[in-house]
Structure 1
Amino acid sequence: MRRPGEGMMLKRPYYNRHQLKQVKGLFGRFTIVAFLIVILIIYFIVISTSKTNYLSPESPSEINVQKLWNPADSGGWKPSSTPRSNWPPPPNETNGFLRVRCNGGLNQQRTAICNAVLAARIMNATLVLPELDTNSYWHDDSGFQGLYDVDIFIKALRYDVRIVESIPEIRKNGKTKKIKAFQLRPPRDASITWYTTTALEKMKEHGAIYLTPFSHRLAEEINNPEYQRLRCRVNYHALRFKPHIMQLSQSIVAKLRSQGHFMSIHLRFEKDMLAFAGCFDIFSPHEQKVLMKYRKENFAEKKLVYSERRAIGKCPLTPEEVGLVLRAMGFDNSTRIYLAAGELFGGDRFMKPFRAIFPKLQNHTTLVDTDTDSSNSNDLLTDNTQGLIGSAVDYMVCLLSDIFMPTYDGPSNFANNLLGHRLYYGFRSNIRPDRKNLAPLFIKREAEGEFVGFEAAVRRVMGRTNFGGPHQRVSPESFYTNSWPECFCRAGVVGGEDGCPPENMMEVLEERLMNVSS
């Protein structure tokens, strides 16, 4: 017979264990929650400290404008695209001929030419003088020979690739025969492997290949410094505009310099860019229809919300916003500005606020003097102010200006190439608006009007940008925008990863070329 309380005594150990498990479970859950709270606190602290409050008076807001008129600090680096290592000359016998069609505007074509030379080197091919698309945005048929000095192009690259102006005819069985190039469409940002397999196989099979279109058809990031240096040799040494374009550009620069320092601005407020960016709301209903129609005809369908695009800095700066940035930085109304731009969308109403802040505005049309400039050059420019020749003149004037400011350096090849060229040309100063961090300030100004601390806040944003010195290339920055460190070397250092090539390197290359030719 069970005594009173015996059953309870037998159940108590189980009851204690069960209670202990419950306590442990609660403690475990509490620990996890506490851990998550700590993580969230740390996260918000990091986020709050990483996002600078540009309206805070504690953040530094001074920019030395006078320093910007001079090149940025080089840090001991100097431009150098000469080969550093064993770089054999092109052999007499190549694997075939390479033709390319470079589509797009002037600078999109320029990068395509650089890629074409590199592709020819990779495949040991003879490069046929690149074709420039006449059906591009500019509707310009100048062609390679109409824009660039062909003799300089071929001579400058003689240590790298063999170049011909056209595919020569061949004689076979007593008959003259033309080689028909096999047409291929390269993948976008194609790898070196694609060229050494797919493209090369077709070249060997047919004797020649025709790559079309050829915009962005070779990967930019290549783990081979010598290949990257070849791109720089093409871009900054071999591609020289025709003498009449250089002459006209230099005469414009001379006029601007005769009155002191000058700044150039690539004012990217044109129909194609505004349509691409999806920035419509500031325009009239009719203008919005024009932009929407252009976007539908030229770009992939995508839903874009203007307020969202604007808030994250995806819209080009308006001319007035450009003026406000420069004034906040400390430039006054005596600043002389050269405008490189096509036809501004929306008419003069967008330029008036900018002109009110900076009245000393010029462009290539206003600076051409029919009395002193070559009539031939002037006629060419007048006929092509929206074409490739006008764009080439703008490019050279912007390259030689004391300060260059792109207002939209996203997919704008003109600005991207110029930034890279100016870096290579001696770390010339650039002003690159941080649109993402400027956007909230402009939105607040539109809602409240000119508010206290606006200009100081703009200076804080701009003070954190790079004004042209050497800096690490970080995606999505293009190699053509920043070829450091591959195309630079440490002054006074010979050998090693950062060292400059031997002084007699060009003589060595010439000797190697002569040995191959003999």
Structure 2
Amino acid sequence: MLLDPLSIFCLLLNSDTLGSSIHSGDSLHGWALISLTFYALCRCKNGGLITDAVVAARILNATLIIPKLDQKSFWKDASDFAEIFDVDWFISSLSKDVKIIKQLPRKGGKVIGTPYTMRVPRKCAPTCYETRVLPVLLKKHIVQLTKFDYRLSNKLEIDLQKLRCRVNYHALRFTDRIQEMGDRLIQRMKAKSKHFIALHLRFEPDMLAFSGCYYGGGEKERTELGAMRKRWKTLHTSNPDKERRHGKCPLTPEEVGLMLRALGFGKDVHIYVASGEVYGGEETLAPLKALFPNFHSKETLASKEELAPFATFSSRMAALDFIVCDGSDVFVTNNNGNMAKMLAGRRRYFGHRRTIRPNAKKLYSVFLNRTSMTWEVFASKVRTCQKGFMGEPNEVRPGRGEFHENPSTCICENSKEESATTSHFQPKIGIENGKPNSTRSIHKDNISSDEDSDWRYFDYGENIPLGSSLNGTDQEYNLFIGSEVPDLQEMFSD
């Protein structure tokens, strides 16, 4: 995937009345404008920070102005919000929650006011916005909140959590052109195989540099990535071995391929790979392609003419990958970054569909010592490490994980048995007029805690069984998991 682009959200404070939680009974005179500057994740339609911007507008009883994406970021993408998302749908579907307009107010042909820049703490609660942002907003009229990434509390009241779900899973949808092309790619994958895996492979040069990890490329890699790391003041001094021991390094293409084969996915499985420019190119991808020769991407599934409207825009290309990953039978990632979290949450919300994420911290020693063990021992150790990371319905313990990866307050569960047997594409929550169906009970016990939630240190319930797909109880997944891997021993010993 790509670096998150800088985006700007603006909030025009409603002057008629304030919500009861903000200065109840007071009235405002005139107007106030607030713009939120942050790194939005719309390159993969995860909606997370856009969602939080909407909720912030709701907390402040403000009018939201749709984002203007920075076109000068690392990826030089000229796309704006309306070229990625259906703006009219975004506005209309949230009309009962937040007032949204398409552009900043103007007077005499000019945008009114100059922003006052400030920043809120990470995971700022509603009271934090009321005490820190609102007074400045009222005084300065225009406020710019910089670096708006995870600047809203993970733990909110149920109504605000439901609003997050309405924004993320219902209000944000791609333009027709993007959605239709994404659906076409899914159809072509289904034509090749009834079931397929989608792999989100983050192995771009900038991502590897940012990770601070070393991937075995010798002095050439150290020089190239070291030069890139100087863009970030502290990364060039990091300890690569320590980063990998702590599980902070994404798996290499070969490692993720070996992990999947160890989990039982056969050589005949068709795999769609969502990726940007892979560091090392075909040489780096060769081991993965040897493990899974039925290797596909949007470039192999579609013609250059079909991809022409998207090819020069990294956001739109990433949106196509997001659609295919979301439509896969099994979604796999070599990292636990934002796109992985958002897809995991989406696949929980719209009925259970499996998401496999690597337990990189435990897999580190297994991969480090793999040449000293047989394939059978290696595979057994991988399966043990992956307990709790296989995308089981109740895998994330209550109170753990960011809301966007575990939207438990918006998911109805009639019983544990129903949750475990839900079909891949059957929604578990009813939505009427953009709001949860009140005839179903909302699970209220699993509001995520507001603690530091770096994925690498989560306890994902690693004492639970590895997963039904590996013990023969899930027929859908057993259709494309193979138990015999006679070709691997020779490859593994290389």
Structure 1 counterpart of 2:39, one-letter code:
N
Shift of 1:114: 0.9
Structure 2 counterpart of 1:141, one-letter code:
A
Structure 2 counterpart of 1:349, one-letter code:
E
Q: Would the aligned equivalents of 1:157 and 1:238 in 2 still touch at CA under 8 Å?
A: yes
In structure 2, the partner of 1:258 is 191
Which of 390, 393, 399 lines up with 2:317 in the alignment?
390
In structure 2, the partner of 1:35 is none
In structure 2, the partner of 1:31 is none
Instruction: Compare relative contact order (CA 8 Å, sep 6+) and give the higher one, 1 or 2.
Output: 1
In structure 1, the partner of 2:118 is 185
In structure 2, the partner of 1:249 is 182
Q: Would the aligned equivalents of 2:39 and 2:147 in 1 still touch at CA under 8 Å?
A: yes
Map of 1:42-441 to 2, 5 A cutoff?
96-103=32-39, 105=41, 106-107=43-44, 110-169=47-106, 178-189=111-122, 190-222=124-156, 224-259=157-192, 260-280=194-214, 282-301=216-235, 303-369=237-303, 378-384=307-313, 387-409=314-336, 412-441=337-366
CA distance in 2, matches of 1:465, 1:418: 14
CA distance in 1, matches of 2:66, 2:321: 24
1:290-339 deviation line (CA, Å, top 9, x unaligned): 11111121252464333333233222111111111111111111100010
Structure 1 counterpart of 2:120, one-letter code:
P
In structure 2, the partner of 1:75 is none
Q: Would the aligned equivalents of 1:406 and 1:432 in 2 still touch at CA under 8 Å?
A: yes
Shift of 1:163: 0.6
Shift of 1:392: 0.7
Q: Would the aligned equivalents of 1:182 and 1:202 in 2 still touch at CA under 8 Å?
A: no
Shift of 1:142: 0.5
Shift of 1:471: 4.1
1:154-204 deviation line (CA, Å, top 9, x unaligned): 01101110011122235xxxx887531533232342332332133222332
- For this pair of structures, how many residues does the alignment match? 398
* Structure 1 residues 508 and 342: alpha-carbon distance in aligned structure 2, compared to 1, 3 A threshold: closer
Unaligned runs of 5+ in 2: 1-18, 21-26, 416-427, 439-494
In structure 1, the partner of 2:15 is none
In structure 2, the partner of 1:460 is 384
Shift of 1:452: 5.2
Structure 2 counterpart of 1:123, one-letter code:
L
Shift of 1:207: 3.8
Q: Would the aligned equivalents of 1:403 and 1:431 in 2 still touch at CA under 8 Å?
A: yes
Q: Would the aligned equivalents of 2:210 and 2:235 in 1 still touch at CA under 8 Å?
A: no
* Structure 1 residues 188 and 341: alpha-carbon distance in aligned structure 2, compared to 1, 3 A threshold: farther
1:454-491 deviation line (CA, Å, top 9, x unaligned): 1122222224434241344567722111111x111244
1:225-267 deviation line (CA, Å, top 9, x unaligned): 1111111111111111111000100000011112311110011
1:397 aligned counterpart, secondary structure:
helix
1:473-515 deviation line (CA, Å, top 9, x unaligned): 567722111111x1112449xxxxxx98897996999xxxxxx
In structure 2, the partner of 1:39 is none
1:298 aligned counterpart, secondary structure:
coil
2:363 aligned counterpart, secondary structure:
helix
Q: Would the aligned equivalents of 2:40 and 2:50 in 1 still touch at CA under 8 Å?
A: no
Q: Would the aligned equivalents of 2:412 and 2:429 in 1 still touch at CA under 8 Å?
A: yes
**Taking every aligned residue pair, what percent have the same amino acid on both sides?**
34
Structure 2 counterpart of 1:118, one-letter code:
V
* Structure 1 residues 299 and 266: alpha-carbon distance in aligned structure 2, compared to 1, 3 A threshold: farther
CA distance in 1, matches of 2:188, 2:279: 28
* Structure 1 residues 164 and 445: alpha-carbon distance in aligned structure 2, compared to 1, 3 A threshold: same
In structure 1, the partner of 2:412 is 489
* Structure 1 residues 112 and 131: alpha-carbon distance in aligned structure 2, compared to 1, 3 A threshold: farther
Q: Which has the larger radius of gyration?
A: 1
Shift of 1:128: 1.0
* Structure 1 residues 341 and 334: alpha-carbon distance in aligned structure 2, compared to 1, 3 A threshold: same
Q: Would the aligned equivalents of 1:268 and 1:341 in 2 still touch at CA under 8 Å?
A: yes
Q: Would the aligned equivalents of 1:491 and 1:500 in 2 still touch at CA under 8 Å?
A: no
CA distance in 2, matches of 1:301, 1:504: 47
CA distance in 1, matches of 2:348, 2:303: 31
1:127 aligned counterpart, secondary structure:
strand
Structure 2 counterpart of 1:339, one-letter code:
V
Is 198-207 or 245-254 further displaced after alignment?
198-207
1:345 aligned counterpart, secondary structure:
coil
